[in-house]
A and B are shown apart, each in its own frame.
Chain A
């Protein structure tokens, strides 16, 4: 069974602090991992993709991947109220051809001004 697990929250973080979002997945051979942000009533917006072990940084966002532990995380530095949203972790479990994404339930992040 292909599963993606996230803590649904809400996760409350003061403005300017670091928000840390975590995700685990069930299949060790998975190759592609994504973080999407979704505001209420809107569609998912890609924040980061990561394919290799280690860290990947893009502005205030850092994705971390540890395939041995089947763990992927997202750090948001200098959190802003506009970062308040649901963050979806997504995994492409497929090994060939076009494959869909399996999403975690999402973590609801609240940045407190």
Chain B
């Protein structure tokens, strides 16, 4: 089983709202990732968690705040977003923390008004 789940599937928010994206995997993977994908562009790495610790932050604005409460769960807290933040947000997990294969969830499509 290589399932990564993400909720919600779709999200519309205003620029003053606070919302959270959730990602879950029960495969025992120890690395989890957030990517952002704009239309007709490839996914771009935002954050990496390894063994529940933030190991990579790709210079993401502070209005995006990741959290890893336990080894199965990854959250992305959103606050004061801009319309240009509208995108598909993808979560992935990997069974290894050294170049292991990453499995993607279905994504959350975010629209910021």
Contacts and interface: CB of A to CB of B under 8 A. Distances in A.
Interface of A: 31-32, 34, 36, 42-46, 49, 51, 88, 92, 94, 96-106
Interface stretch (B12-20, B79-87, B96-104): B96-104
B31 interface: yes
Contacts of A99: 48, 56, 98-99
B112 interface: no
B107 A43 contact: yes
Contacts of A101: 43, 45, 102
Contact of A97 (B44, B90, B98): B98
A76 B49 CA distance: 34
A45 B105 CA distance: 9
Contacts of B105: 43
A103 B33 CA distance: 14
Most buried by B among A34, A101, A106: A101
Contact of A88 (B42, B99, B101, B107): B42
B64 interface: no
Most buried by B among A44, A96, A98, A106: A98
A109 B38 CA distance: 19
Contacts of A42: 106-107
A96 B98 CA distance: 6
Given A98-B50, A101-B102, A43 B90 contact: yes
B93 to A, nearest CB: 10
B101 A49 contact: yes
Given A45-B104, A105-B42, A32 B99 contact: yes
B34 to A, nearest CB: 9
B101 A100 contact: no
A103 B99 contact: no
Contacts of A104: 42
Contacts of A43: 88, 90, 104-107
B41 A94 contact: no
